[in-house]
Amino acid sequence: MSMFHASQVDDASSLLMAPPTASLMRWVVIATLPGVLAMTYHFGLGVLSNIALASIMGVLLEAAMLHVRSRPIAPALTDTSALLTGVLLGASLPPASPWWLIGVGMLAAVVIAKQLYGGLGHNPFNPAMVGYALLLVSFPTYMTLWAPPQPLINDTLWAQVLGTLPTPQLDALSGATPLDAFKHKAEELSAQQFWLSSPLPEKTLTAWYTISLAWLAGGVLLLIKRIISWHIPAALLGSLVALAALFYLSDSDRFASPIFHLLTGATLFGAFFIATDPVSAATSQRGKLLYGAGIGVLIMVIRNLGGYPDAVAFAVLLMNLCVPLIDLYTVPRPTGHAKDAPGVPR
């Protein structure tokens, strides 16, 4: 959809100064560093093994697909978009995921969601989230196995990554994310009783809070460097917090607080790094606001009323589907044209 019309038509100078794709993508990779480092600090080297495996596979699959499609390989690889897809998917998966799980996810992301639709710039769906959604639907046991915070080096890391760890040991490692734990709390427990019962292993909440704030820091870097505009994250977070507050005020025992929804789970990561993908997001500024707000609403609806504890991937994919419609109705009116002039978009 990025080719539908120029991104900021009412601000032509920014178009002339727009940096090329490669440096854009490189900056996004750099901006993921705070989040990735915070995750590694709290959840161990399994985070880095995820990202390394996913990025390597992403680049190899991209090269293989470009070769099959007889397109030039070098320029497409140096734009680092496949690498970025790998980093984003790797950061979304539970730490120390087995190699085959990452492989299936990257296959869906790069081969199916990106290259089969025509390569960079033509994919209607966010590749990393297609991979994530496919894995979440297909392998729920592996995808919900999120180990509690742990030291950097873990004895079972290799066995986990190679997929050779026996199931009982694997089950012993698993934990719940805060969103998951709250969603499955006993019905009769009030929110206060739930938190007093120390439902999560030590330091879990702090770990998630710091990771979210680290993603926010990366997002701010992207805003300062003007890689992304403020519209999508602001609309997404605004609608998410507003709706979370409404739910919370209606029944604070059943629904978690807006702060909880903002700082645990993938909210901030999704708002700055997933929803802002320039290819699959809406293009005009009004369109971006609508698109972001839609994602925020869908995240809250699925989290609070649906079957899944987190919903960033599904919300982004559903709004990706709406992008052609949003783009159709939010074409900016050129300066100087009257509102109702014939041929001028409303």
Tokens 């606001």, located at residue: 289
Least distance between another protein and beta carbon 261 (Å): 27
Nearer to another protein, 168 or 343 (CB): 168
Can residue 122 be called a binding residue for another protein (CB under 8 A)?
yes
Cβ 47 vs Cβ 36: under 8 Å = yes
- The answer to whether 203 contacts another protein (rule: CB under 8 A) is no
Write down the least CB distance from residue 159 to another protein, Å.
18
In the complex, what is the shortest distance from the CB of residue 47 to another protein, in angstroms, rounded to a whole number? 25
Residue 69 touches another protein, criterion: CB under 8 A: yes
- DSSP letter at 305 equals H
Residue 101 and residue 81 in contact, taking contact as beta carbons nearer than 8 Å: no
Q: Which of 18, 23, 71, 345 binds another protein (CB under 8 A)?
A: 71
Letters for 133-152 (x = contact with another protein by CB under 8 A, - = none) are: -x--xxxx------------
Query: What does 182-211 look like in DSSP terms, one character per residue?
Result: HHTS-TT--HHHHHHT--S-TTHHHHHHHH
Nearest to 132 by CA among 124, 142, 122, 123: 142
Q: How many residues bind another protein (CB under 8 A)?
A: 12
Helix (H) or strand (E) holding 9: none
Q: How far is CA 45 from CA 150, 155, 160, in A?
A: 10, 11, 12
DSSP alpha helices (H): ranges in 32-173? 33-43, 46-68, 74-78, 81-92, 99-106, 127-138, 140-143, 157-162, 167-173
Q: Is 118 in the site for another protein (CB under 8 A)?
A: yes
CB of 109 to another protein, least distance (A): 14
Q: Which of 22, 56, 119, 226 binds another protein (CB under 8 A)?
A: 119
Of the two residues 135 and 300, which places its CB atom closer to another protein in the complex? 135
Give the range of 10-18, 23-31, 130-138, 337-345 binding another protein by CB under 8 A: 130-138
Residue 56 is encoded by which pair of tokens?
A: 């390597």
Which positions touch another protein (CB under 8 A)?
A: 3, 69-71, 118-119, 122, 134, 137-140
